[in-house]
Amino acid sequence: MTTTVETSRGVIRVSSLTKTYPGPARGLKVLDNVSVFSEQGSYIALRGVSGSGKSTLLNILGGIEVFDSGTVEVSGANLGTLLRRQRTAFRARTIGFIFQFFNLLPTLTALENVSAALEPLGKAITERREQSMAMLDAVGISHLANNFPAQMSGGEQQRVSIARAMVKRPPVILADEPTGALDHKNATQILDCLARLQQQIGTTIVVATHDPIVIGYATETWEMRDGAIEVSHS
């Protein structure tokens, strides 16, 4: 089942999206004529078995992967029309990424990791530092600003990852299994933190997950199955 909603206010608008990876015969079609929509400020849980296309869809929404056919619009940008360098600029200003294993640069402090997200936007060093410290404070770890990733717990590193994703106040956050490497207590704390910031900033969040805890935070669920998406609202 594929759900389509037509409206001009959507931050994410996907229409007739198809994506196939090379392989035997006709290849592997992971996304088959998918159409979905989401308004600004939604919290979306993206579910499906391993190999169902969750990461592929996130990569397409983030301008990392190209697709075969259809239309993908994110925050007003038509991704199918962008050149590689334009997609890079799109990601820098529009998308915040949160990963399962944090993807922090080990040679940079927490403050430097967060500040790095602002460099492509051309902000002055002082401004980057002030905004990064404020976001570290918002996720509750400003006291660890000068610590390196190896000096922090998994939960603390994920808070840095959230701060890095949120510091530029992006219209869209894409999170791939953000609680997968955390225990239940830390996962809940991370999701509480993410939901609080999402409400404050108004960011749309799409979380690819197998974690049932995430569903309780979501305003809608996108269930991926056999190349299609079924949408349900909380």
* pLDDT of 3 higher than 70: no
Section 123-150 average pLDDT = 95
Does 2 fall in a domain? no
Q: What is the pLDDT of residue 7?
A: 34
CATH number of the domain bearing residue 132: 3.40.50.300
Backbone phi, psi, residue 186, to 5°? -65, -35
**Residue 10 domain-assigned (yes or no):** no
Tell me, what amino acid is at 191? L
Q: Is 6 domain-assigned?
A: no
Give residue 66's pLDDT.
94
For residue 201, pLDDT beyond 80: yes
**Helix residue ranges, H only, 62-183:** 84-94, 110-116, 125-138, 154-166
Instruction: Report yes or no on 175 lying in a domain.
Output: yes
Q: Is residue 160 part of a domain?
A: yes
Provide the residue range defining the domain that includes 179.
Answer: 40-67+83-233
Q: Count structural domains, the chain.
A: 1
Cβ of 12: how many Cβ atoms within 10 Å?
Answer: 20
Lookup: tokens for 131:
């905004």
| pTM recorded for the entire structure | 0.89
pLDDT at 30 over 80: yes
Once rounded to an integer, what is the mean pLDDT over residues 213-229? 90
End-to-end CA distance of the chain: 18
The predicted pLDDT at position 4 comes to 35
Percentage of the chain modeled with pLDDT above 70: 94
Whole-number Å distance between alpha carbons of 35 and 18: 10
DSSP SS3 for 143: helix
| Residue 217: half-sphere exposure toward Cβ, Cα within 13 Å | 29
For residue 12, is it within any domain?
no
Q: Return the closest-CA partner of residue 133 out of 115, 152, 106.
A: 115
Answer whether residue 56 shows pLDDT above 90. Answer: yes
Dump pLDDT digits (tens) for 183-199.
Answer: 889 889 889 988 888 88
Asked whether residue 196 is assigned to any structural domain, the reply reads yes
